[in-house]
Amino acid sequence: MTETHRINSQLKRAYQGPAWHGPSLRELLDCVTAEQAAARPIVGAHSIWELVNHIIAWEQISKRRLEGDPVSDVPDKVNFPPVADASEQAWQKTLESLAASNQSLRDSIKQIDDGKLEEMAAGQSYSNYAMLHGVVQHDLYHAGQIALLKKLVG
């Protein structure tokens, strides 16, 4: 098994399971309504929806970097895209975007060989290896936040 295959597997498990640590991101988001996703049970904290948008943004940024685009400027509206439409339909589109983003990054990982992992990520001071493992860690870090917020919004 190659390292790119292992990373791809970990990213898939973090998103859809089965995950060793507990529920995957998709499992956590099952049955979350638009109202719950948009809620702010902690003043000053991001909502579930904003965290999902943030995960999507960084999966897309990482994909672009893996493909050679040295994305460097990440403004706040890209880092944490705001929720403009809090309808159930918009929430379902966000969940579809999350699935597509995760799949798209995994498809890009499948296109590279292990040698590319040691190269520096486009425009960055770290390797593609560190970036891709970082994406898995990032997704799971925010999954933990989502799990707590989900309990708070009931």
Place 39 in a pLDDT band, splitting at 50, 70 and 90.
Answer: very high
Burial of 68 from C-beta contacts in 10 A (0-12 / 13-18 / 19+): exposed
Domain count, the chain: 1
| Model confidence pLDDT, tens digit, residues 110-139 | 999 999 999 999 999 999 999 999 999 999
Q: What is the pLDDT of residue 128?
A: 98
- Closest-CA residue to 136 (of 30, 1, 31, 21): 21
97, two tokens: 């975007």
| Containing structural domain, residue 96 | 3-153
Phi, psi of 80 (to 5 degrees): -130, 80
| Stretch (H or E) spanning 120 | none
pLDDT digits (tens, 9 = 90+) for 75-112: 999 999 999 999 999 999 999 999 999 999 999 999 99
Query: What is the Cα–Cα distance from 56 to 39, expressed in whole angstroms?
Result: 19
Averaged pLDDT score across all residues of the chain: 97
**CATH code of the domain containing 107:** 1.20.120.450
